[in-house]
Chain A
């Protein structure tokens, strides 16, 4: 989504890549899940799910969050929503640190920030009527009841394209797309400023995905919402996001405008991830070389030292194993908050990563589709690259 045209409801919201007031600021957000074992539940270790994430979300902006399964995207969403306590760091919503708020202290903020869940089948209570599900926010925050609540719920149903007459039905009476609209209606009930969408379309088929994405887009224009949009479908994220953050093993490895990040990815991991995006054109797909990472995602129980990506990185050097790279604009590049990568040796435009070989481990990204390697290598995770013809080197794309 390119900068959405804003209506009068959000006069101050800027969507350009550099301006805009932040609505949400994350600094050093960390979450470790303790691992317990034995009868007495001794803590024997911890899973580092999110390890020091910093970013800002501006008013009216959509920030895409991508990464493979298990990289901490959903955990981060729950940390932002205060559904999980953070282990360290702070989440500031409109200047207020919400990580230290109690549950009751958090309640007023719930009206400002809402979440859309991944699974439209699991996120709606199967035993309750749609009208009462959508009316929940009004009941919880004691905003409206009786006739007034019914009227408001029906308005919301109309807003998201549901028939208000279906007020008394149960979730089972609706299709997947309709259910996700119910989830959207519930999230919008309190007119929030921020919507955290945790893979809102992953469970839907492609035509319904388009419906829901367009609905979210339209609502952003109408209501001036800010979105955090989590997905593992890279093309969906490119379509909806102003800026995109790429996560790997609990860390943001690259953050940039959607345009820049997709055409000139600087982090080797982003390169690999993007090279797994299927191309609709088989001729173009056949021409491109793909970057297949070697090995598996390391366990977050015992993450690698230094740069968490270094054991699989074709450009890794001594420094990568020793020093944790900061999320910055890189050496010799003018500092631009929309162009950040956490890499000691960022990929330069035009560089062919398939030729690179790690100085540290000798790891080389597999340039060709080797069936054995692909079969045993989940490589780039969610955007599954089962089809070898999908291979493409992003560097050719970067030159374009």
Chain B
């Protein structure tokens, strides 16, 4: 990304008149009084971005969907109570034993999305799966964001040997094959009795952030390399600002917009990572519900042929979540950086 100046540079807010003409000497001109009649308000870059975002119907819809999703995830126990099923109990009436072979019930009044191979409620499990997906996706992204931004800031701003060392570390991390390393790390998380040493959810978060902080670090480093040559950094130095102050006060505000966009696009990737790990059986393990292990169960048991809700529940939930995050991320990028390729209709 080569843009540094951000949207405020290209779409200036309305300005009142310049203090007209050269100052009458001696003494600077009196400050201009606000022009009567038409009131002009300055809008912050954030306000401008939000105004642009509001015009983007797709991003708005994605945002609404995500808010609903988060609400549903937060209220999952409440909804489970309303439905009358909890996510981990094997309900006998979830299994239809009337045929030759016992099969899980199909979607119906009792089980909204049917039951799985053990008679658990797929609908309730999908809701609980949303908790895991969102939690892992967001927390892992947040950790990666903090670590990556710190490393990127240091590498880009301090430069020299620090930059060389940190950049090589980033290169090393990027050269690890993600899945193989993740599988190994998770497999090592076993004590003598085969029990996990630390919570698998925590481990999944750690593994995902371990592999994604490098993207943030590279992004931030690149931005900082161009930002630190700007005159306002020199101006801050000439005022006596410390390196820390320059990084936090002068550089960080210029990194917020790209970081927001990047994080929004990284969350769905991390959700998919989590689902992948759980699907492979090394992430979140049964009986805890996760979309990844639900998909595995549906596929492994083969019941999805008679009970499509088993597969469609977690599958569609995963699809919608990832799609919503991606669309919102695209919308945010357009809103925060109006110079990007997509053009917005005039309001």
Q: B-contacting residues of A (Cβ < 8 Å)? A: 78, 81, 83, 103, 106-107, 110-111, 114-115, 117-119, 122-128, 136-137, 140-141, 157-166, 168-170, 172-175, 177-178, 183, 186, 207, 210-211, 214-215, 217-218, 221
* CB-based contact B19/A163 at 8 Å: yes
Min distance, Cβ B283 to any Cβ of chain A, angstroms: 39
* CB-based contact A160/B235 at 8 Å: no
* CB-based contact B16/A163 at 8 Å: yes
Which of B234, B235, B242: most chain A CB closer than 10 A? B235
CB contact between A83 and one of B16, B34, B238, B245 (< 8 Å): that residue = B238
* CB-based contact A215/B42 at 8 Å: no
* CB-based contact A168/B42 at 8 Å: yes
Which of A157, A160, A211: most chain B CB closer than 10 A? A211
Q: How far is the CA of A118 from the CA of B237 in the complex (A)?
A: 15
* CB-based contact A122/B32 at 8 Å: no
Q: How far is the CA of A26 from the CA of B240 in the complex (A)?
A: 21
* CB-based contact B238/A114 at 8 Å: yes
Q: How far is the CA of A160 from the CA of B29 in the complex (A)?
A: 8
* CB-based contact A140/B239 at 8 Å: yes
Which of A164, A172, A210: most chain B CB closer than 10 A? A172
What sequence of 0s and 1s flags, for each residue 1-43 of chain B, a beta carbon within 8 Å of any chain A beta carbon?
0000110110011011011011101111101101000000010
Q: How far is the CA of A348 from the CA of B18 in the complex (A)?
A: 48
Min distance, Cβ B11 to any Cβ of chain A, angstroms: 8
Asked whether B241 is an interface residue with its Cβ less than 8 Å from the other chain, the reply is: yes
What sequence of 0s and 1s flags, for each residue 204-238 of chain B, a beta carbon within 8 Å of any chain A beta carbon?
00000000000000000000000000111011111
* CB-based contact B31/A161 at 8 Å: yes
* CB-based contact A127/B6 at 8 Å: yes
Top-7 shortest CB links A-B: A127-B253, A110-B240, A122-B231, A161-B28, A123-B231, A172-B8, A163-B31
* CB-based contact B22/A211 at 8 Å: yes
Which of A127, A159, A160, A183: most chain B CB closer than 10 A? A127
Q: How far is the CA of A174 from the CA of B8 in the complex (A)?
A: 11
CB contact between A172 and one of B12, B245, B254 (< 8 Å): that residue = B12
| Contacting residues, chain A, for B305 (C-beta < 8 A) | none
| Contacting residues, chain A, for B31 (C-beta < 8 A) | 157-158, 161-165
* CB-based contact B18/A178 at 8 Å: yes
Q: Closest residue of chain A to B240, judged by CB?
A: A110
Min distance, Cβ B47 to any Cβ of chain A, angstroms: 11
Min distance, Cβ A249 to any Cβ of chain B, angstroms: 24
A-B contact pairs, 8 of them (CB 8 A): A111-B240, A123-B231, A124-B235, A127-B254, A128-B249, A158-B28, A160-B28, A183-B235
Q: How far is the CA of A127 from the CA of B250 in the complex (A)?
A: 8
| Contacting residues, chain A, for B241 (C-beta < 8 A) | 136, 140
Asked whether B200 is an interface residue with its Cβ less than 8 Å from the other chain, the reply is: no
| Contacting residues, chain B, for A111 (C-beta < 8 A) | 240
* CB-based contact A110/B34 at 8 Å: no
* CB-based contact B232/A124 at 8 Å: yes
Q: How far is the CA of A211 from the CA of B230 in the complex (A)?
A: 25
| Contacting residues, chain B, for A214 (C-beta < 8 A) | 22-23, 25
- Total count of chain B residues near the partner, CB < 8 A: 42
Asked whether B44 is an interface residue with its Cβ less than 8 Å from the other chain, the reply is: yes
Residues of chain B in range 122-168 having any CB-CB distance to chain A below 8 Å = none
CB contact between B42 and one of A106, A169, A183 (< 8 Å): that residue = A169
* CB-based contact B13/A161 at 8 Å: no
If the complex has contacts A164-B31, A172-B8, are A122 and B13 also in contact, measured as CB distance less than 8 A? no
Q: How far is the CA of A208 from the CA of B321 in the complex (A)?
A: 54
If the complex has contacts A106-B240, A161-B29, A173-B42, are A127 and B23 also in contact, measured as CB distance less than 8 A? no
* CB-based contact B240/A119 at 8 Å: no
Q: Closest residue of chain A to B233, judged by CB?
A: A125
CB contact between A115 and one of B12, B44, B235 (< 8 Å): that residue = B235
* CB-based contact B22/A173 at 8 Å: no
CB contact between A123 and one of B9, B26, B235 (< 8 Å): that residue = B235
Q: How far is the CA of A107 from the CA of B240 in the complex (A)?
A: 5
Q: Closest residue of chain B to A184, judged by CB?
A: B28
Min distance, Cβ A109 to any Cβ of chain B, angstroms: 9
| Contacting residues, chain A, for B29 (C-beta < 8 A) | 161
| Contacting residues, chain A, for B234 (C-beta < 8 A) | 78, 83, 117, 123
Min distance, Cβ B326 to any Cβ of chain A, angstroms: 26
| Contacting residues, chain A, for B249 (C-beta < 8 A) | 128, 136
* CB-based contact A218/B27 at 8 Å: yes
Min distance, Cβ A159 to any Cβ of chain B, angstroms: 6
Asked whether B45 is an interface residue with its Cβ less than 8 Å from the other chain, the reply is: yes
* CB-based contact B23/A122 at 8 Å: no
Min distance, Cβ B336 to any Cβ of chain A, angstroms: 11
Which of B45, B234, B256: most chain A CB closer than 10 A? B234
Min distance, Cβ B249 to any Cβ of chain A, angstroms: 8
CB contact between A125 and one of B238, B242, B254 (< 8 Å): that residue = B254
| Contacting residues, chain A, for B34 (C-beta < 8 A) | 163, 165
CB contact between B26 and one of A126, A165, A218 (< 8 Å): that residue = A218
| Contacting residues, chain B, for A217 (C-beta < 8 A) | 25
| Contacting residues, chain A, for B22 (C-beta < 8 A) | 207, 210-211, 214
* CB-based contact B19/A162 at 8 Å: yes
If the complex has contacts A110-B239, A141-B240, A161-B29, are A118 and B231 also in contact, measured as CB distance less than 8 A? yes
* CB-based contact A125/B18 at 8 Å: no
Min distance, Cβ A243 to any Cβ of chain B, angstroms: 23
| Contacting residues, chain B, for A159 (C-beta < 8 A) | 28
* CB-based contact B238/A110 at 8 Å: yes
| Contacting residues, chain A, for B42 (C-beta < 8 A) | 166, 168-170, 173
* CB-based contact A115/B238 at 8 Å: yes
Min distance, Cβ B153 to any Cβ of chain A, angstroms: 15
| Contacting residues, chain A, for B45 (C-beta < 8 A) | 127, 170, 172
Q: Closest residue of chain B to A158, judged by CB?
A: B31
What sequence of 0s and 1s flags, for each residue 30-72 of chain B, a beta carbon within 8 Å of any chain A beta carbon?
0110100000001011000000000000000000000000000
Which of A106, A118, A126, A157: most chain B CB closer than 10 A? A126
| Contacting residues, chain B, for A125 (C-beta < 8 A) | 232, 236, 250, 253-254
Min distance, Cβ B7 to any Cβ of chain A, angstroms: 9
Q: How far is the CA of A124 from the CA of B239 in the complex (A)?
A: 13
Q: Closest residue of chain B to A217, judged by CB?
A: B25
CB contact between B23 and one of A158, A173, A178, A211 (< 8 Å): that residue = A211
Q: How far is the CA of A191 from the CA of B42 in the complex (A)?
A: 30
Q: How far is the CA of A231 from the CA of B5 in the complex (A)?
A: 26
If the complex has contacts A123-B231, A211-B22, A211-B23, are A170 and B238 also in contact, measured as CB distance less than 8 A? no
If the complex has contacts A160-B28, A163-B31, are A170 and B18 also in contact, measured as CB distance less than 8 A? no
* CB-based contact B15/A218 at 8 Å: no
Min distance, Cβ A86 to any Cβ of chain B, angstroms: 16
Q: How far is the CA of A115 from the CA of B231 in the complex (A)?
A: 11
| Contacting residues, chain A, for B242 (C-beta < 8 A) | 103
* CB-based contact B32/A163 at 8 Å: yes
